[in-house]
Structure 1
Amino acid sequence: MIKVEEIIEKYKGYEVDEEKLKEFLTPPKPKTVYELKKVDKYYYIDTFGTACSDIWDNDEIDNGRREIGNCFLTKEDAEFEVERRKIEAILLKYGKKVKSSQNEEYFILYDFVDKKVAIYPSGGVCYQGTIYFTSYALAQRAIKEAGKDNIKNYIFRVDVECVKKG
């Protein structure tokens, strides 16, 4: 498909019948789920973890899905989120999302310099969205069960193939 800007450059000086032109134009697709308009197709995850499609009607169901983060522009985005949640569920089997204020705990991070998944003590800070483990050993078990590549890909969104090549 060609962009309107390219057409303008290519056909400078031509006249256009605007009504006929409208028949050929495709409106821009939404860039975020907050730009969805009636009759736009979107995806959500059902109770079985399947990516399903629906048509945006701006009703209670559509808005409810969007409010809880269960609204996606593409099927691929919804399927990725299903896998991400599975990996996070494995990590939560060994850890928790709330840090204890008194005890030393550990968290998993991705080190871009060394290109590896690592375990660090949390120290006196609490990070948004982090899963905390009460011991280094529990963090290791979580990594082993979830898989380093899965953690890189689905939790930290690091392209595993690019990391292996680089």
Structure 2
Amino acid sequence: MIDYRHSQVSASLAALALLAGSPANADELCAELVLFEKADLPSTGEQARWIELHWQGRWMDLKSGWGLACISSDEVAARLCSFVVKNTSYEFASNFPERILACHGYVIPNGIANWRGEVDVEMASDRWHKLVIDLGERSEDSGAVRYVSVSDETAGGNDIEYSPIAPLPSDEDE
């Protein structure tokens, strides 16, 4: 005889584990992404908007410190940067690109380490969105993610779409 009580408990625990792993602000991130993606693009030659989120330092390095820094192309991107810095885990860096992709219907397995890649997230009628992920071992910081919204007219011709993510300038460089 099969004891179904055990499988019901296991299923309940699995559901709780899934809920516990879900970011509380997933819907808010999706709403912020929509504002970023739908806003009129800048009229600059590249017709692109982007953010780069950088993980600085090493987790729990009390001597040198650690944290997130975000750079942006314009005011609309700066709004997304502000939200992202306040609502992104330093410890679990891969959650951020996973959350962006989840907002667009992608399902990504958990536990991706040293994640590097590029994803054409969505092709809209007049623009497309690209996610560039570099969460591998980097000598300058602990990883970075770039999210780009670019005009269909200039897509493929922008340096920001294809350039490797550079380290943030240090105070010494300024």
TM-score higher than 0.5 here?
no
Per the normalisation by structure 1, the TM-score is 0.31
Higher helix share: 1
Per the normalisation by structure 2, the TM-score is 0.30
Which is higher, the Rg of structure 1 or of structure 2?
Answer: 1
Higher strand share: 2
Determine which structure has greater relative contact order: mean sequence separation of CA pairs < 8 Å that are 6+ residues apart, divided by chain length: 2
